[in-house]
Amino acid sequence: MKTFLNMLLLFALTSNAFASVPLAPRAGVGGKVDMFGCMQTNDYYIANFAVYPTSQMKDKKTAASIAGLCEDLPYLGAAQITIDLLDRDVRRKPVWVKVFDSKKNVIAETAPKIEKQAVISLPVNFQNQGKYDVVLYVEDDDLHTKPEMSALHIPLVVAMTVAGEPESAGGFLKVALIVVVFAFGIGFLVNRQLKPKDV
């Protein structure tokens, strides 16, 4: 009975924690795929990030087929950034987003606002390839910390090719190779132990 109650409590906690987490996978040009979306965290906040290349959405059919990307955007031009606020208390506090280029210039931003729907969305026009910094700020009086200190920084690489094989494929091949070598090693040891020994 105690085990059943513990399992029930664990289920309740996990279902509550993932209640607002969109479970759509995100992928980028580097092959990074996150099945829980694109979780971004720091010591203070957790959010789910997505960037949609609206410059590639020529019609409704194309728009429906383009999935949200994570930290790699392979296209220049118009894009839509969305951030899902996963901390419930943050939904009652003013939040805003700034997008910085590699020279620390602000290329897009939102005004501070309480986002009751827990989603911040902003259009960005990426005109140059490079590394960008998407920064989520929260006016959080409970922390007694300036928003600049507790800000959540989300790296974004735009229109830069990645040499070599995709990260996800390389990671999968490494894990598969380790499993195969381990299985052969165990098989060899078991076979050796089962052989009859000469007396």
H/E segment holding residue 106: strand 106-109
The yes-or-no verdict on residue 133 having pLDDT over 90 is yes
The yes-or-no verdict on residue 199 having pLDDT over 70 is no
Kindly report the CA angle at 130 between 95 and 32, in degrees rounded to 5?
75
DSSP state of 116: T
40 vs 152: CA distance, rounded Å: 8
Q: What is the pTM of this model?
A: 0.65
The yes-or-no verdict on residue 27 having pLDDT over 70 is no
Mean pLDDT for the chain overall? 77
Higher pLDDT, 52 or 189: 52
Distance (Å) of CA 13 to CA 22, 45, 77, 84, 117: 17, 19, 41, 20, 22
